[in-house]
Amino acid sequence: MKKPVTSSNKIRGVGAMKPAPKPKTLKDQSTLAAGLERLERAIAHMGLASRREAKDLIVKGLVRVNKKVIKEPGYGIRVGKDAIEVEGEALGTKESYVVYKPRAIETNKTTATAKDLHDYFPKLSHLAPIGRLDKDSEGLIIMSNDGSLARALTQENSHVAKTYEVLVRENVTDEALRKMTNGITLDKVKTKPAKLKRLSRTGFSIILHEGRKHQIRRMCDACHLTVESLIRTNIGHLSIGSMKPGAVRKLIEDDVEKLKG
């Protein structure tokens, strides 16, 4: 008579069923869904604290997302949509500097061997850059730990304009200037109207009230223009003036208040 197969026999047998894998926890997940960013990284990008400081603040229960306390640094947030609050007294003295980012320096490190603003300006390593300039661009960027200033500069309806001077390889046509002025569709979303001014046969200035990733380069690409040089010359009332690559200037309270509007 054949011996009945029991659940214990199945486990010991050659064709035994494997136990179901344990569900992944947040700590097991190395990536987030498209459109989400780690909370600690978002706080650092907003200029509220460094990533290390942000992690400590989160673990201590000093961070709220949409009014709810979050204690997981890897929590995924929707950038520009979710409201992030950090206990003000945990951030210490507010400091803000405007720096001239040289070309070939990243705003935030993308690889272990890359050189970013914290490497180039070690005395400002406790501050976070507000917004971004890509590696091949240069010009003004603010480094700060003032969260309200960061929000004023990066929120979707920010009143602070940013001015860039662009040099391209080809001749800039009136049609290209018109297209960029009226807005160009990128990733199915049209850019906001911009203000452009011809500077030379191959150069122009552009004033934006938004900062989408590689926006100017992609707008130029849509107009069949190849960017040779891109410099951010103004952030609101702050002007590059006589600053050279690598220059640093501390912002006085009046500067900060003007930017906050």
How do residues 11-39 score in pLDDT, each as one tens digit? 344 444 455 554 444 343 447 888 788 99
Q: What was the pLDDT predicted at 1?
A: 52
Assigned token pair, 60: 């201590």
User: What architecture is the 96-156+240-260 domain classified under in CATH?
Assistant: 2-Layer Sandwich (3.30)
Q: Taking CA 124 as the corner, what is the angle to CA 164 and CA 61, rounded to the nearest 5 degrees?
A: 105
The CATH 3.30.70.580 portion of the chain extends over 96-156+240-260
User: Is there a catalytic annotation at residue 116?
Assistant: no
In the chain, ranges of CATH 3.30.70.1560 domains: 162-235
In CATH, 162-235 is 3.30.70.1560: yes
Active-site residue (options: 28, 56, 116, 134): 134
Pick from 17-21, 91-95, 97-101: least confident: 17-21
For the segment 42-62, the average pLDDT, to the nearest whole number, is: 79
> In which band, very low, low, confident or very high, does the pLDDT at 224 lie, cut at 50, 70 and 90?
very high
| pTM to 2 decimal places | 0.68
Which of these ranges, 51-55, 85-89, 183-187, 211-215, has the smallest mean pLDDT?
A: 85-89
Which sign does the torsion angle of CA 28, 34, 36, 38 carry? positive
Q: Which CATH number fits domain 31-90: 3.40.50.410, 3.10.290.10, 3.40.50.12160, 3.40.50.880?
A: 3.10.290.10
Q: What residue type is assigned to position 86 of the chain? A: V
The answer on pLDDT for 5 being more than 70 is: no
Q: Which residues pair with 97 in a beta bridge?
A: 143, 250
Residue type, 151: R
List, by residue range, all CATH 3.10.290.10 domains of the chain: 31-90
Q: Of residues 187 and 14, which shows the higher confidence score?
A: 187
Summarize pLDDT for 189-206 with one digit per residue, the tens: 999 999 999 999 999 999
Averaged pLDDT, 93-100: 92
Say which DSSP state 81 is in.
T
The CA distance from 39 to 74, in Å, is 6
Predicted local distance difference test score (pLDDT) of residue 29: 43
DSSP 181-216: HH--EETTEEPPP-EEEE-SSSEEEEEES---TTHH
> In the chain, which ranges are E strands?
36-38, 63-65, 68-69, 76-78, 84-86, 96-101, 128-130, 138-144, 162-168, 185-186, 189-190, 195-198, 203-208, 227-235, 238-239, 248-250
Q: Which strands form 68-69's sheet, in the order they lie side by side?
A: 68-69, 63-65, 84-86
